[in-house]
A and B are shown apart, each in its own frame.
Chain A
Amino acid sequence: MGISLHNITKRFGPDLVLDDVSDEVPSGTLTALLGPSGSGKSTLLRVVAGLEASDAGHVVLGGRDVTNVPARERRIGFCFQDYAPFFQMTVFDNVAYGLRVRKTPKAQIRREVDDLLSLVRLESFADRYPRQLSGGQRQRMALARALAIKPEVLLLDEPFAALDAQVSAELRTWVRSLQHELGVTTILVTHNQFEAMEIGDRLVILNQGRVEQTGAPSVVYDHPANDFVYAFLGPTTTWGRVPVRPHDLELCRVDKGTAVTVTEVVRLGFEVRVVVANALGVPTWVQLTHDEAQRLDPRVGDVVGVRVRVAEFAALSRHAQDRPVAGR
């Protein structure tokens, strides 16, 4: 079920939280709503769910205008950042909640909840209480609870923010494949650009209540609409007073680029950051792969050259293969 947002505007007192937001979320896709804190992304998610009323604009779900439909009649699966477990109920009763509201027969509830618990790998936790679960388990319980009502739209508010890095990475992969399997239209709110690019079919980048850009992660990354998107999506440094991605710079022989002195080398596994300063002491940094760093072996105090990588290089070499003309 596709989601259409038409000119959504929301104020909290004097603050304009959402400023004329429009978007089309295609059915079955996973859209990552990305923005810094205070950009209005959680408020937008709450407006879609019906938990917050917008001051103006329309929310259309699968062709039906639900702007004035209360949350409980929208049949939208919603997961809060804190997972909002029902602490007084067992895991089973948590997941069964939506089915009981719908007066589902008992045997059917048992069957469906058991299926959902095995889907989220919590079969053996049915009789536990939420306080006896880890953060990752609580999150999976909250997902099962939201999926129980067979929603055609799933909304996840910062689903991985409260988890430690490893659990977060595992769950991202798992949620991604689950979403593919179920084909449920999903909007996921995050402030983490890597998470958004990893998990999203498309990105919606929000800043100060306005949509800055939408599109596939690679398109948005390679063709940012403005400076904000450019700076927000990845690391930036400056080169000749111009903002540039540190992976678009490279080290070379002194006579092939601008001469700089290496001031720091930070090895982060695959990524190696080489901080350099020019003759005036202006710093910048260059992002190398582990392999490049092994080959070039930059050390603090080395005087080396820095230049902008030839961006067209990859494209050129591909063309070179197509054409019988010798490249380079």
Chain B
Amino acid sequence: MRRPSRLLRFVVLAYVTALVGLPLGFVFQRVLARGLGSLWAALGDPQMDAAILLTVKVALIAVPLNVVFGVGASLWIARHPSRATRALDAVIDVPLAVSPIIIGLILELAYAQGGWFGSTIARLGWRVMFSLPGIVLASVFVSLPLVSRQVIPLLREIGDHQEQTAATLGAGPVRIFFTITLRAITWALAYGVSLTMARVIGEYGAVLIVSGNIALVTQTLTLNIGGNFENFNAYQGFVGASLLASASIAVLVVLSVARHRERRRHGHLTA
């Protein structure tokens, strides 16, 4: 491959630096500007800590849900094409096309008291709005296509000959899934998982509506950051933002290191 020209490299680097690097750098700079003492105190803020705990909890539930749904939907769409899967394939992208705030409103219409399922849920003694289930629901909804959009193209590309060969060798569906299919889609799945994770911990609009944004109870980290800025508590907001950014960057670094190793081991590109 021809080396890109010096000018092109400069433009690309300058663009990325101005767009991503500098602002991110400013966040961390603002956090460290007041010294480690203030940072330590800010990290102990009970409202923020409760928000972090809630975000982790939501991610731990929403990400596995999305993986199970995403892989299941991908297998169905890629391996058993029909009119139903073509419809699903189109509908699955809606959460990406629609603003999260609208998703929040849809969920509220459906689950709030007086909503479509609201009275049924209340009769069963459950609570969806303004509680953990609502936040999980919103998070799953907004990240719905992120796993399947990575996995479906790969499933289509590798075809079903490996799976069918495994069947002729005597393997059952579960064994085929774990020894053939899952191993083939591992890296696409890992990429989808990290996108889902980033989306779930970073979601704001939909969660804002369904959670009710109650500090210490239903406030996620993004809502906590937003609240601190609104209340002229910018420093606390920057501390929260730097934690959120660090988590996202950590996910990306882990993924790229793992990918690099996998590539070296097999001597080829996967995913």
Contacts and interface: CB of A to CB of B under 8 A. Distances in A.
Interface stretch (A12-20, A55-63, A76-84, A291-299): A76-84
Contacts of A89: 183
Residue from B162, B183, B184, B266 with most neighbouring chain A CB atoms (10 Å) = B162
A88 interface: yes
Interface stretch (A94-102, A160-168, A244-252, A263-271): A94-102
B161 A82 contact: yes
A101 B164 contact: no
A74 B168 contact: yes
Contacts, number: 74
B94 interface: no
A70 B164 CA distance: 11
A142 B169 CA distance: 11
Contacts of A206: none
Contact of A71 (B158, B168, B180, B268): B168
A328 to B, nearest CB: 58
B170 interface: yes
A312 B183 CA distance: 63
Contacts of A101: 169-171, 175
B88 interface: no
A188 B172 CA distance: 26
A100 B99 CA distance: 50
Interface size classification for chain A: 20 to 34
B125 interface: no
B167 interface: yes
A221 interface: no
Interface string A131-164: 1100000000010011011000000000000000
A102 B266 contact: no
B167 A98 contact: no
A72 B170 CA distance: 4
| B161, B165, B170, B171 — most chain A CB neighbours (10 Å) | B165
A51 interface: yes
Chain B CB within 10 Å, residue with most, of A76, A87, A145? A87
A98 B180 CA distance: 13
25 contacts: A51-B167, A51-B168, A70-B167, A71-B168, A72-B167, A72-B171, A74-B168, A76-B168, A77-B168, A80-B161, A85-B162, A86-B179, A87-B158, A87-B266, A88-B180, A89-B183, A97-B171, A97-B179, A101-B170, A102-B170, A129-B266, A131-B266, A145-B169, A148-B169, A149-B170
Given A76-B168, A82-B161, A131-B267, 4 more contacts: A86-B180, A101-B169, A131-B266, A146-B168
